[in-house]
């Protein structure tokens, strides 16, 4: 299942900025809670040359990012393998359910999870390069909001990064905390001017931000400012 291309703009917030954002959210937008808060869990994949990292740092306009995502801490959460595609400042994602690990993802080591992803994706005619490996685990709590005209706003808290050693199970490796929150605003290209007016009172400049690159930098695998 594939979504249309949309803009995704991000803001990195310390606690003071977060307070300003929450005031703006309630006073200057029509946004309401669209879902309960939930834990978001991801394993990112890359090739042995970290091509996804290199493409991002080089500013390559068309690039892909691969990740396995599931929600909450329940064993029966259905993991979804996502192929995120960027085309300039626009992005979309195609999602594939990985049903073979629905009931036991928390019990499998990362090598087994990778193997099962490869097999399930092959049934969708998606063939992963044999050099694709898991490179980073990310966990955080996400708040969800949406305006009356379908502008989606999320705020991520308590972001944790972990290494992905193949023979360890999830959450077994040491985790490292990120001291900031991340707000993301997602909207259709036709809403670009409206969103520009909407965020003007914030007086905060959106910036390029990748949890994948931030996490790898914290773990010492790359340099990302």
Q: Show me where the domains of the chain are located.
A: 6-218
Give me the residues paired with residue 33 across strands.
Answer: 145
pLDDT of residue 70: 95
- Cα three-residue angle 5-161-145, rounded to 5 degrees: 45
Exposed / middle / buried, residue 215 (Cβ in 10 Å: 0-12, 13-18, 19+) = buried
User: What is the residue-wise DSSP string for 95-116?
Assistant: EEE-GGGTTTGGGSBHHHHHHH
Q: CB–CB of 155/21 below 8 Å?
A: yes
In CATH, the number for domain 6-218 is 3.20.100.30
pTM score above 0.85: yes
State the pLDDT at residue 29. Answer: 97
Q: Report pLDDT for 209.
A: 92
Q: What is the pLDDT of residue 154?
A: 99
What's residue 2's pLDDT?
47
Residue 1 is predicted with a pLDDT of 42
Q: What is the pLDDT of residue 225?
A: 60
pLDDT per residue, tens digit, the chain (225 aa), is 445 899 999 999 999 999 999 999 999 999 999 999 999 999 999 998 899 999 989 989 899 999 999 998 766 789 999 999 999 889 999 999 999 998 888 888 999 999 999 999 998 888 887 788 999 999 999 999 999 999 999 999 999 999 998 788 887 888 999 999 999 999 999 999 999 999 999 999 998 899 999 999 999 988 876
| Largest distance between two CA atoms of the chain | 51
């Amino acid at each position: 299942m594939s979504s249309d291309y949309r803009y995704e703009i991000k803001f990195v917030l310390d606690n003071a900025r977060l307070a300003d954002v929450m005031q703006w959210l309630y006073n200057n937008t029509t946004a309401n809670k669209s879902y309960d808060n939930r834990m978001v869990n991801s394993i990112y994949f890359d090739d042995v040359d970290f091509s996804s990292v290199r493409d991002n740092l080089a500013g390559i306009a068309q690039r892909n990012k691969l990740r396995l995502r599931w929600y909450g801490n329940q064993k029966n959460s259905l993991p979804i393998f996502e192929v995120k595609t960027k085309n300039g400042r626009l992005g979309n994602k195609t999602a594939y359910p990985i049903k073979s690990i629905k009931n036991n993802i928390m019990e499998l080591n990362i090598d087994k999870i990778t193997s099962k992803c490869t097999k399930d994706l092959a049934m969708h005619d998606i063939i992963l390069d044999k050099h694709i490996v898991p490179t980073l685990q990310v966990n955080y709590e996400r708040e969800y909001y949406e305006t009356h005209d379908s502008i989606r706003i999320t705020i991520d808290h308590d972001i944790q990064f972990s290494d992905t050693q193949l023979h360890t199970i999830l959450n077994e490796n040491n985790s490292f905390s990120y001291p900031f929150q991340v707000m993301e605003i997602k909207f259709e290209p036709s809403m670009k001017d409206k969103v520009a007016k909407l965020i003007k009172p914030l007086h905060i400049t959106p910036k390029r931000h990748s949890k994948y690159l931030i996490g790898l930098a914290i773990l010492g695998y790359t340099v990302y400012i």
